[in-house]
Structure 1
Amino acid sequence: MSMAHRFLPKVTALLLAGCTTGGHASADPAITSPAHLSADRPGSPLTAPDDWWSGFRSAELSELIGRARSEGFDVAASEARVRRALAGTRIAGAALLPDLNANVAAEHSDGDPAFSIGLATRYELDLWGRNHASRRGALAMLDAAEHDRNAVALIVETETAAAWAATVAATERRAIAAHNLHAARRILGLVESRQRAGMANPLELGQQRALVASLEQRLAQIERERAFSRATLASLLGRVPQGFDVATTTLTGVGLPSFTPELPSAVLLRRPDIAAAERRLAAADADVALARAAMWPQITLRAGGLFESGRLPRLFDNPIYSLAFALTAPIFAGGRLAGERDYAVARREELWADYHGAIVAAFAEVEQALSHIDTLERETDAQTEALRQAEIAARLAESRYQAGAETLLVMLDAQRILYAAQEDALTLRQARIRAAIILYRSVGGRLPT
């Protein structure tokens, strides 16, 4: 049994146990960790560097991701949510401290001045942990907001990389289509010359013209696809698409990242969405404790001091102090408190299921990404040979047609096979890059700093 096989169930159990409380552990179902992932095979990709996009070896991509993180509106909104959660912790923590209020008054009536200063303080004894539970829940939600921010940043990074790759692929695809259209038009001129000389019939001429028209249609379709991906990329950067473009024109120089093996449990430790789900579950635990504490009496202490005088120098000569003790206990609330408790318990069960689902989904996504990369690599090996043979066949068919040793139909078939092989090669390379991006996202991508 590999180290990954032995270690993974333990890590999963620890993660799940860390978010349970004493009153709920027995009712929480357990997750059965998968026996293995494809990642256990030698050389499988599971390690992502902090700047995971550097594996593509593109300065432009690195710059665009940096701009998306600093200028994109999604990341800015997530930062604001973190600040809002931080303010929530200060609000919740204030209940643990006494309130202190002061009032100062000065009056002048019938020629006699009157001065007074009053101080009052109020403090709730947190015997049942209600206020502590409120602060604990607020702190957990702050953690969740920070993990959500990291999750949003990861999504922005990967979507930017995918949109950039799609735009570059469309640029390269456009160049291939333009080159093929130029070649088809050149051959069309040859067919027209042969037809005028009586060496080609109208059917051959019509077939070549149809091929030229289909390539023109394909070029227009590629232009539309490129405009769409370019607009998507611009929006991720917080920019309008007008005047925006990328400089890279081919995926040929873009690196395919190499990966090193690591324990599959890393998928649980890196993913910010799983960490956020765990912290929401912890906040739900605090909400349950808060709802239960609300059903018990509240004890409040109040103290105050009053200083009054008709002359300022004698203001503090005769102070009046007060100390009060108040006990407030719920007697009848029409089932509201019990309903709030049941609501909190049900919410916790919902979040527990969400947490389970996030962990299971993480395993599935990594497995799918690894399998996709593996099949794409095998497809690429086969397609590389298919492209090489298609190029040879197209050159031979054209030269034989020019020599009158082959029919136009054979040359047309060779052209179509070559064009399709060229597009397939580019499509597979783009798919391989996108598969790497998806794998980075599935393992948590860039580690939060």
Structure 2
Amino acid sequence: MKRNALGLALIGSVLPMLFACMTVGPDYKVPEKALVQAPEANAGLVEAGSTAASSEAVPDAWWRLYDDREVNALVQRALVANTNLRVAAANLQRAIANYHEVEAENLVQGSINASTERTQLAGEAFLLKEKVPVLNIGNYGIGVSYLVDLFGKLARADEAALANAEASRAALDAVRVAVVAQTVKAYVEGCAATDELHAAERQLALQERAVDLTRKLVVAGRSEPGDLDQANAEAGSLRAALPQFKARRTAAAYRLSVMLGQPPARTEYVCHGLPTLKKPLPVGDGAALLRRRPDVRQAERELASSVARIGVATADLFPTIRLGASAGVTGVLSDLGSGSTVHWGVGPMITWNFPSNGAIPHIHGMKAESDAALARFDGVVLKALEETRTALSAYGFELERNAGLRKARDAAADAAREKRILYAGGRVSYLVSLNADRSLVSLEQTLADSDAQVALKQVALFEALGGGWENAPMPASKHAVDEKSDSSSHS
């Protein structure tokens, strides 16, 4: 009867605490004062009447807008083999492992122990004056325990670890964005250097023709020797400029090899011309931008983790209860298994550290860390908006410049064609026709540089928009964050 009464008393003291479980600390939600909630941050990005961009949604694989097979193939290879992606994928797997490690604390913990020793016990320990004989002693047992999460410490730790895993996944997505952009940029730079090299070679060829003409005029006495020296100097200057275009093309090839996870080599890729868009560049709006940008999602998840850690620290102010049971045998080795060596126990273990151990300052520290995380989150939001608007503005102005250069090139082409007709009719000298062709080629070279800048600014804008990570393959891992992480992203 006494044993039953003791058991009922134990259950009666523990059950009310179990049913009174609570989760201390603040419940996380995106703060109302966070800049990501501001109407200005969620407004449209495209100004009325813009022909450079549209408010259409940014596609998952933006590089496919170029409709360039070589670009598509290079990006797919980079997404699988790039070394930075492999590092980010490994960091994500580590974060996932840490999350599951924290989750395991919610499970029943078990242990087995076994020991045997030959020992000399002190007789005084048994209130004996004589010496105790040397004995062979054994101790074997098993134990199980379960931590009762009365105040939500494990729940908050689980929230923090899950948010960290999701932040690592966003970091991986950010690396994907950078890898895709850098791969396309390397391809564009190689194409641009090739186009500019060809334009410079055409200009040099025309200047060499001018040198030949000037030489003939000097021999005929119709021009001064100084004119020939000047023509040769201009040809030499143009010839000296050719290596810089070759160097840029080689550097782009080396960069592209590294992006593909290969040793630097002069990769021979087919470039039929700079990638171009056939319609205004889709940019969406501010709200879609902030949902899509991986660095914004990463900062938001880091804020969620810091808020959850406030609950972990707060739970240290309250008692910890662990329910446990153990059984085993302890005694002289030859007697193990007999009734006198059997022991067992069951019951709760309560520990409670008083606030004087620094728990309250620790909570204040976690709150300060949360404030810092919110400030970082706001800063990332501002950076995302600044980068996108700056890239969009630069792209629009370069398009205007490109359109002006194209009109000038067309006018120069008409003038050169007219001078060739007049020269054929004997109405102007060959030198006049040649100079018109030289002006045309010079404008073509300037236009080629502008075309390259348009393509590069398109890539920069797509990178600022933060797309390209959706549905991408995992380069070095087959695991993914637990399904319940899908419901924790900010809105």
TM-score higher than 0.5: yes
The one of 459, 468, 490 equivalent to 1:446 is: 468
Q: Distance in 2 between matches of 1:108 and 1:21?
A: 56
The aligned counterpart of 1:174 is 197
Distance 1:281 1:315, change over 3 A: farther
Q: Distance in 2 between matches of 1:420 and 1:315?
A: 104
Task: State yes or no: 1:97 paired with 2:107.
Answer: yes
Question: Which SS does the other structure have where 1:347 is aligned?
Answer: helix
Task: State yes or no: 1:137 paired with 2:137.
Answer: no
Aligned residue identity for 2:316: A
The aligned counterpart of 2:396 is 374
Question: Which SS does the other structure have where 2:318 is aligned?
Answer: coil
Q: Distance in 2 between matches of 1:144 and 1:244?
A: 35
Aligned residues: 426
Task: State yes or no: 1:63 paired with 2:73.
Answer: yes
Task: State yes or no: 1:195 paired with 2:218.
Answer: yes
The one of 286, 292, 310 equivalent to 1:288 is: 310
Answer yes or no: is the 8 Å Cα contact 2:207–2:438 preserved in 1: no
Task: State yes or no: 1:33 paired with 2:56.
Answer: no
Aligned residue identity for 2:325: A
Answer yes or no: is the 8 Å Cα contact 1:168–1:246 preserved in 2: no
1:349: how far off? 1.1
Question: Which SS does the other structure have where 1:39 is aligned?
Answer: coil
- Unmatched runs of 5 consecutive residues or more in structure 1: 1-19
The one of 235, 245, 266 equivalent to 1:212 is: 235
Q: Distance in 2 between matches of 1:134 and 1:385?
A: 64
1:215: how far off? 0.7
Q: Distance in 2 between matches of 1:50 and 1:317?
A: 72
Distance 1:52 1:21, change over 3 A: same
Kindly, what percent of the aligned residue pairs are identical? 23
Task: After superposition, give the CA deviation of every residue in 1:96-146 in whole Å (9 maximum; x if it has no partner).
Answer: 122101135689999x99986411123322222112111110001111111
The one of 80, 84, 87 equivalent to 1:77 is: 87
Aligned residue identity for 2:85: V
Q: Distance in 2 between matches of 1:230 and 1:383?
A: 29
1:75: how far off? 0.6
Q: Distance in 1 between matches of 2:65 and 2:36?
A: 37
Q: Distance in 1 between matches of 2:79 and 2:384?
A: 24
TM-score, reference length from structure 2 = 0.76
1:165: how far off? 0.3
Matches within 5 A, 1:331-410: 331=354, 335=358, 337-394=359-416, 405=428
Answer yes or no: is the 8 Å Cα contact 1:56–1:257 preserved in 2: no
Answer yes or no: is the 8 Å Cα contact 1:370–1:439 preserved in 2: yes
Task: State yes or no: 1:160 paired with 2:166.
Answer: no
Task: After superposition, give the CA deviation of every residue in 1:6-32 in whole Å (9 maximum; x if it has no partner).
Answer: xxxxxxxxxxxxxx8479958867853
Distance 1:389 1:269, change over 3 A: same
Distance 1:74 1:237, change over 3 A: same
Aligned residue identity for 1:363: L
Task: After superposition, give the CA deviation of every residue in 1:264-323 in whole Å (9 maximum; x if it has no partner).
Answer: 421122112111111111101111111222233322333201147989997899853112
The one of 451, 455, 458 equivalent to 1:436 is: 458
The aligned counterpart of 2:206 is 183
Question: Which SS does the other structure have where 1:205 is aligned?
Answer: helix
Distance 1:28 1:55, change over 3 A: closer
Task: Tell which deviates more after alignment, 171-180 or 240-249.
Answer: 240-249
The one of 250, 256, 259 equivalent to 2:273 is: 250
Distance 1:317 1:46, change over 3 A: farther
Answer yes or no: is the 8 Å Cα contact 1:39–1:264 preserved in 2: no
The aligned counterpart of 1:424 is 446
The aligned counterpart of 1:326 is 349
Q: Distance in 2 between matches of 1:153 and 1:191?
A: 56
1:379: how far off? 2.2
Q: Distance in 1 between matches of 2:58 and 2:33?
A: 36
Q: Distance in 2 between matches of 1:401 and 1:56?
A: 42
Answer yes or no: is the 8 Å Cα contact 1:93–1:135 preserved in 2: yes
Q: Distance in 2 between matches of 1:401 and 1:199?
A: 18
1:353: how far off? 1.3
The one of 247, 253, 257 equivalent to 1:224 is: 247
Q: Distance in 2 between matches of 1:230 and 1:188?
A: 35
The aligned counterpart of 2:485 is none
TM-score, reference length from structure 1 = 0.83
Answer yes or no: is the 8 Å Cα contact 2:113–2:142 preserved in 1: yes
- Root-mean-square deviation (CA), in Å? 3.4
Q: Distance in 2 between matches of 1:291 and 1:105?
A: 38
